[in-house]
Structure 1
Amino acid sequence: MELVGSINGLVCLSSRLDGLISIIWNPATKQYVNIPTPNLKFLPNQGGTSIGFCFDSLTNDYKIVRVVWFLEDMELQPRPRVELYLVSTDCWREIEVEVSFDMLLSSCDTIVKGEPYWQGYFHGDPYGVLVWFDVGKEVFREGPELDLPAPYFNGLVNFENSVAMLTSAFWSPEGQLEEEICLFVMEDDSSSWSMKFSAGPSRLTRVVGCSKNGEILLFPFEEHVLQLYNPKTQETSNIQTDLEGLRNKFAKYDFEVSNYTASLVPIRGSKQVEEEGTSGKSIDIEDQVA
């Protein structure tokens, strides 16, 4: 399972390889709901999928969007197939896709204002573009290109409730590896990017994500520790974690970061997570609506 993202205190988890198993979970209330198995399935090495978690504020409904590629159809029909799950209906339905794109990750890069965002690739473009799911109109949209030569380490993040691209190293037009942290924020009209700040050198640091107050979570490859960088004070501090035993295995592990705020938001048809050491069946909660 991997962390897809968190919205309003609800956390979405999904199976990394095929997205057939998904769960919406409220850690604060210890309630969860198992999402029905999607309709679109593929055999190993015959397809791929990517999951996004959404919230429609107009209908007060939570949704899961699942993008599926069937390798045998890619030459004849380059567009992926997309199905959508609504908590309110508790079922999947397929929706039309107007654009052709690919995604590298098995879940969205980040979630901003209830909408999932990916680094996508259109028409064989090696540099990629921004793709996001318009949850209200239930369509995919293409964002502006980031005019940056061949990013080396980069990632989409939620920076102070705006879509942003963080880079920690990239190739300059002169062919030099520039080791500095740069943050580009997408304008509100989704037409362009603007640089927020730059700092360096980054010493080949992987950018992991952002905190709610704009601090940047970093993973320096040489030091094997997690760090927080404050762009306002330009100070860096190490993060105390329980990963001490994995210090020599960091290269084999990935970090998934999501902004989370505890809430009492209920989920329709949820069950109660059992405490360790207790017995009995999970409790069905029938009349609760997310």
Structure 2
Amino acid sequence: MKWKPVALPQAKSWHEMSAGLGFDHVNGDFKIIWVGPVGKSESSRVEIYSVKEESWYVGDEITNFSPSSFQCNFVLRGAPYWTGRDGKRDKNLGGFDVLARIDPCTGSCSRFRYPDHGKDYVVSIVKLRDVVAALVPSSVQNNVLNLYHLDENSGSWTLMNCVGPLDNRITYAPQCLSTGEIVLVTWKHGLGEVTYFWDPDTNRLLCNREIEDLEVCWYRAYSHVESLVCIEGMVQIGKEHREDTGQLKTRTFLNFRLHEAMLLFPTSHAKGPPSEVQPDIMNTDLLSREAESIHLL
């Protein structure tokens, strides 16, 4: 495989720019998209690198938008999306949070206001399967989140569902799973974080306290698609744990937990021969529910 470094635009540096990837469906071209400041203002200019042409070009449009991070939040249908600030708004009034979409073909920027929300509320903008969604704290019910979908043609948001009440007041959504579940992390001073998996289709909410023992770096995970090429040693997604015979290497999650419990409590509640011992402290119904939810992890 051949890797070709891309030279940065002249007089530019990474700390001044926010980067994203895109695919130009019109020309069949992968693009590297940079959004950088214009002088000291909160306006930005878009610069695009064409993989097909192997060159940079600067867009003519100056947009009143300032990205809030050094990379785009997600890529949807080949276009990168950023969250940031609306440069037109008076700074004394706090500014407006907006979502921006850069067209990889033209370099034009479309901006969308967030759904209406209370001051200082934490709003999470996510890619939920094939739509842009927003999770907004309810201004009516405490510890409840409202789920909105964005209509990009009109720029309007539609309320689709809600979830809660949750344990803590501050909640954000660091990621959505490809199967449609949303990862929710709640936080409260002195109590730490609690992680949930919420399925908006079924309204099923699962609390996962075991994951609190891990240092989960949600923001290091990124939207992905299967590679168009296969390097020797790579395994296709979905076949990571299969032998050549097609048999799973690992046992089911329920069997794993049963075996784990047998090791912890081998004879403490025995009423018969060792072969008949079953730990009576186990809640098999709970384990069954955990087994059903393991596909979320």
Are the counterparts in 2 of residues 108 and 118 from structure 1 also a CA contact under 8 Å?
yes
CA distance in 2, matches of 1:43, 1:192: 36
Q: 1:134 to 1:190 in 2, by over 3 A?
A: farther
CA distance in 1, matches of 2:221, 2:131: 16
Counterpart secondary structure, 1:98 = strand
- In the alignment, is residue 39 of structure 1 matched against residue 1 of structure 2? no
Question: 2:29 corresponds to which letter in structure 1?
Answer: D
Counterpart secondary structure, 2:219 = coil
Question: 2:109 corresponds to which letter in structure 1?
Answer: F
For 2:178, the equivalent position in structure 1 comes to: 212
Question: 1:209 corresponds to which letter in structure 2?
Answer: Q
CA distance in 1, matches of 2:120, 2:3: 39
For 1:128, the equivalent position in structure 2 comes to: 97
Deviations 1:76-112 (A, max 9, x none): xx53232111111222222222322111111112211
CA distance in 2, matches of 1:155, 1:66: 23
Are the counterparts in 1 of residues 194 and 207 from structure 2 also a CA contact under 8 Å?
no
Are the counterparts in 2 of residues 115 and 134 from structure 1 also a CA contact under 8 Å?
yes
Of the three residues 160, 178, 193, the one matched with 2:129 is 160
Question: 2:63 corresponds to which letter in structure 1?
Answer: V
Are the counterparts in 2 of residues 79 and 97 from structure 1 also a CA contact under 8 Å?
no
Counterpart secondary structure, 2:180 = coil
Q: 1:199 to 1:245 in 2, by over 3 A?
A: closer
Are the counterparts in 2 of residues 61 and 88 from structure 1 also a CA contact under 8 Å?
yes
User: By how many angstroms is 1:151 displaced?
Assistant: 5.4
Structure with larger Rg: 2
Question: 1:134 corresponds to which letter in structure 2?
Answer: D
Counterpart secondary structure, 1:255 = helix
For this pair of structures, how many residues does the alignment match? 223
CA distance in 2, matches of 1:159, 1:95: 29
Are the counterparts in 2 of residues 35 and 90 from structure 1 also a CA contact under 8 Å?
no
Question: Percent identity over the alignment?
Answer: 22
Question: 2:37 corresponds to which letter in structure 1?
Answer: W
Deviations 1:60-84 (A, max 9, x none): 21111101126xx225xx5323211
For 1:79, the equivalent position in structure 2 comes to: 43
CA distance in 2, matches of 1:192, 1:264: 35
Are the counterparts in 1 of residues 196 and 205 from structure 2 also a CA contact under 8 Å?
no
For 1:57, the equivalent position in structure 2 comes to: 25
CA distance in 2, matches of 1:95, 1:273: 40
When you count helix as a share of all residues, which structure comes out higher?
2
Higher relative contact order (CA 8 A, sep 6+): 1
CA distance in 2, matches of 1:152, 1:43: 33
**Structure 1: runs of 5+ lacking an equivalent:** 1-30, 267-271, 276-290
Are the counterparts in 1 of residues 46 and 62 from structure 2 also a CA contact under 8 Å?
no
Question: 1:107 corresponds to which letter in structure 2?
Answer: Q
Of the three residues 73, 77, 91, the one matched with 1:109 is 73
